[in-house]
Chains A and B, each alone.
Chain A
Amino acid sequence: MRRRIYQLKIWMAQTAVVLAIVGLWLYVTGPGGVSPLLIAPPGDTLQELWQLIWSPGTWSDVATTGSEIVAAVLIAVSSGFVIGFLGSRTAFRLEVWEPLVALGYTIPFVVFYPLLLLWLGIDEASKIAFGALNGFFAMALNTMKGFKSVDQKLVRTAYAFGATPRQIEWAIKLPAAMPIVLSGVRIATALALITVIFAEMVGSRKGLGFQLAKTTGTLQTSLSYAYIIFILMFVGILHVIIERASSTRR
């Protein structure tokens, strides 16, 4: 009972914080006198958001951005897994590959984006490549770490209990590496997702990121706020889907 009252207090405090932020928003756009070009009023923003949801054009942008993200994630995860797996097969390969991949993970690939635009054009291909590039290293590094950290005691146990080399691979090493590999999937997805949207903002002709950059640039502030909220919901839903799909079943 005391526990529930405590929980209720936490919720109330959290609601108060959110209400205070909304209140501040209402104040500065109303009596505060801040220009609606700088900060859009909440009412206008909600109205724009409502129209956005019901406009077919929005959903074609969702399809563009969504398919770019899916393609980028698939490429990052599959190539990262293959390289990570092959790079962890022997101690020698691990010594060669792991520092290189770890180094690659620290590269801010944003500096290469103009080059990608030059090579692949302004449409989907450059967005997919950029997203995949950003996700790849996290996936490859986690896959290597996953296979490296397989408990050798489990491998020895399987060997003692008559496992063939093939069975050791499939029944022991793969499931033992899985939790870390799956955390690689989650990180790679999060990175690919955000970089695809960013890439659309920097240079493209369609997609949610493009719309956000365009509306902000043309001072359609309340519409750009609506896009921000829409993109946050879109990203949130994708995160929930990925989290569900990649959680270890128990």
Chain B
Amino acid sequence: MSQAVIVDKLSVHYTIEQQPEPIVALDEIDLSVKKGELVTIIGPSGCGKSTLLHTIGGLISPTSGSIHIDGTPLLGPDPKRATFVFQEYTLLPWKNLVENVALGLKFAGIDRASRTARAMEQLKLMRLEQYAHMHPDQVSGGMQQRVAVARALAMEPQLILMDEPFGALDEQTRMMIGAEISRIFTLENRSALFVTHSLDEAVFLADRVILLTTRPGRIKEEIIVDEPRPRTRKFLETRRFVDIRSHLFASLDVPAGDREGADT
């Protein structure tokens, strides 16, 4: 497998008022994603995992370091190479679902007929084609997030960046959609970086789990999850899943009294 994404010594510093020292959100992160690989990023809250994702996608300019996708440097958002699925539902409320899926295609200047056709294909993949002409407020939160995934996939990017996309959903729905995403990403051989604060989600979805530390954000550990994809819920009950999960839990080293960063 060739490398789809190479992140080299990526640092992001912030300066805020009343504080002369810049805050080091990310400190020399080295990271790569192979073609077709699904990598999850986990860490305590405030560790900069969302910042890392937004920087890799070009929404935040790094203080130093570089991002290469498909061998060329990424200097700003480029939805042909990397698209986002954000934490909140970010569908346009005045557009129906198929128009929402076609958003990036519209901005790319693709004509209405072909962008609608491509968007419908993605909705079919998500088994949502019968809701194509409904508006976001007429469907459930889980469906809205699947539409957001379809919108990201419709661009046929090399890399999909997912920022706690199912954080607002209940555990049941989250695992169901997770399995669905896993199936589609495997089918289409997409690479993905997936930020989560749920240990179960991190292990269940990933080929590789990356553990970040807090301030400065550094990579503490990488764990390979050696289990073929797509996976079924049975994987959740296997010895290997439980072992990796408890190892990660120990590594997270959550200080007592500050446990909201990790779901247990």
Contact = CB atoms under 8 A, between A and B. Distances in A.
Interface residues of B, number: 22
B59 A162 contact: no
The prevalent SS among residues of A at the interface is helix
Given A156-B59, A250-B135, A162 B90 contact: no
Contacts, number: 53
Interface string B98-114: 00000110111000000
Given A160-B57, A161-B155, A162-B79, A154 B106 contact: no
Contacts of A167: 107
Contacts of A4: none
Interface in A233-248: 248
Contact of B84 (A154, A157, A176, A250): A157
A22 B86 CA distance: 61
How extensive is the interface on chain A, given as a class? 10 to 19
B154 to A, nearest CB: 10
A162 B86 contact: no
Given A154-B92, A156-B59, A172-B92, A161 B103 contact: yes
A161 B86 contact: no
Contacts of B14: none
B135 A162 contact: no
Contacts of B227: none
A162 B108 contact: yes
Interface string B9-52: 00000000000000000000000000000000000000000000
Interface of B: 57-59, 77-80, 83-84, 86, 88, 90, 92, 94, 103-104, 106-108, 135, 151, 155
Interface of A: 153-154, 156-164, 167, 171-172, 175-176, 178, 248, 250
